[in-house]
Structure 1
Amino acid sequence: MANVTFPSNMSFQNEIDSRAVLRKTLRNARKSLSNDAYCYAQQAIAKQLRSIVSQDKKCNIAVYLENDGEVNLDAFITHCWTSLPNITFSLPVLHPVNKGHLLFLRYAPYTRLVTNKYNINEPELACSEVIPTPNIDIFLMPLVGFDKKGHRLGMGGGYYDRTLAFTQRVEVKPTLIGIAHDIQEVDTLPVAYWDIPLDVIVTPTRILKF
């Protein structure tokens, strides 16, 4: 992905403003979907993901819990818990020390969840349950918008970009998969130098690979 340089503070601010406007528009579109559309997306995404993950190879997958109209992954997670014992899951937790970063903790049916400052459920912090980020094979990531070049627009906090910056420096990389409704696609996203590109985008109707 090409880096973006800003010749002045004004250009930088304009870029930030354009991303904020687009983010608001796409979030509103996502939240305007009907309940039927949400249910369809959950089941269709689960089917798409089942076609991607290995049926026998051990794999640790970072998932997320739905918030703000994101595609719900519960159907896929439940299927793996009941039918694919080779798959283990982890969930993001706001890092208690390294601000702006994420930790990933093991996620199982018995995991106790608490609510973080964004009103999102996450596992209760326990050092014994931490999965080192380099040990995760696949990251399933929510997004606000995407384009056909694999660029991702998130909620604006930069948590995933900071946490996954290491993927640009290592040879063995995890697979980064963005999960979205089809209506979240745009022709071109404004790209910043800190943005981490995706390897795959999965929607209810398509699997886009880059």
Structure 2
Amino acid sequence: MREHRRLLSEEKQRSAVQSVIQHVSIHEKISLAQHIGVFLSFDGEIPTQPLIEYLWQQNKKVYLPVVDPVLEAHLLFVPYHKSTPLIRNKWNIFEPPLEPTQVIPFEKLNILFVPLVAFDKNGQRLGMGGGFYDRTLQKAVSKGPYPIGLAHDCQRVKNFPIAQWDIPLPEIMTPSKIWQRPS
């Protein structure tokens, strides 16, 4: 799956993010949101920088995940601006430097865009294997942001094994449509 998205051309990637921005522009929950968590794409994921720039144009506050240095398998979210410096973490993913005074309480995020490797019709997601978002999403079940998966259409699969700690997403946004988890 990861290899498949890595092979997408630059033109396909550009087209994909423009389609996602179209979905975002008419999404009611996103329109009402002020504080939005977004990941910085890598490894063939839908390019999130154009999405982030669109959110800034809409006067949304954007936050990026930073790996918690104390509870290493957890994510913290800090403000992201055009001037925010980025550094590579030990997984070679860009993140802002952690300024503890800048961390937003997780429950103050309104929307959280979630990366994934694969997803199914029931909103189950397969992540990169570190469990960072699974642990983060456990907090969102009772309170916190509305999570939305972000994926290419080619990342949809029929099904895959799920673990008891896996939390399905209510929506997964792809270039062709917004998949809603059946209720």
Same fold per superposition (TM over 0.5)? yes
Q: Say whether the 8 Å CA contact 2:33–2:110 is kept in structure 1.
A: no
> In the TM superposition, what is the alpha-carbon distance from 1:199 to its structure 2 partner?
1.0
Q: Indicate how the Cα distance of structure 1 residues 56 and 141 shifts in structure 2: closer, same or farther if over 3 A, else same.
A: closer
Q: Which residue does 1:95 correspond to in 2?
A: 68
Q: Which residue does 1:180 correspond to in 2?
A: 151
Cα distance per residue 1:112-161 (max 9 Å; x no partner): 21110111110111012111111111110111000010000000000011
Q: Say whether the 8 Å CA contact 1:47–1:76 is kept in structure 2.
A: no
Superposed structure 1 runs of 4+ greater than 6 Å apart: none
Q: Indicate how the Cα distance of structure 1 residues 56 and 153 shifts in structure 2: closer, same or farther if over 3 A, else same.
A: closer
Q: Say whether the 8 Å CA contact 2:118–2:125 is kept in structure 1.
A: yes
AA at the equivalent of 2:151: A
Which residue among 157, 161, 178 is the counterpart of 1:190?
A: 161
Q: Indicate how the Cα distance of structure 1 residues 73 and 206 shifts in structure 2: closer, same or farther if over 3 A, else same.
A: same
CA distance in 1, matches of 2:80, 2:14: 23
Matched, 1:43 2:18: yes
Please provide the CA RMSD for this pair.
Answer: 1.5
* Deviation larger for 118-127 or 55-64: 55-64
CA distance in 1, matches of 2:133, 2:43: 17
Which residue among 158, 175, 179 is the counterpart of 2:131?
A: 158
Cα distance per residue 1:178-200 (max 9 Å; x no partner): 00000000011211011111011
Q: Which residue does 1:113 correspond to in 2?
A: 86
AA at the equivalent of 2:51: F
**Unmatched 5+ stretches in structure 2:** none
Q: Say whether the 8 Å CA contact 1:50–1:76 is kept in structure 2.
A: no
> In the TM superposition, what is the alpha-carbon distance from 1:27 to its structure 2 partner?
0.7
Cα distance per residue 1:46-85 (max 9 Å; x no partner): 1111211568645211001111000012222112212x12
Count of equivalent residues:
181
Q: Say whether the 8 Å CA contact 2:33–2:111 is kept in structure 1.
A: no
CA distance in 2, matches of 1:203, 1:59: 22
| Correspondences of 1:1-210 after superposition (within 5 Å) | 26-53=1-28, 57-82=32-57, 84-85=58-59, 87-168=60-141, 170=142, 172-210=143-181
SS of aligned partner of 2:62: strand
AA at the equivalent of 2:54: H
CA distance in 1, matches of 2:149, 2:159: 16
SS of aligned partner of 2:87: strand
SS of aligned partner of 1:177: strand
SS of aligned partner of 2:167: coil
TM-score (norm 1): 0.81
Q: Indicate how the Cα distance of structure 1 residues 201 and 54 shifts in structure 2: closer, same or farther if over 3 A, else same.
A: closer
SS of aligned partner of 2:92: coil
**Unmatched 5+ stretches in structure 1:** 1-25
Q: Say whether the 8 Å CA contact 1:152–1:197 is kept in structure 2.
A: yes
TM-score (norm 2): 0.93
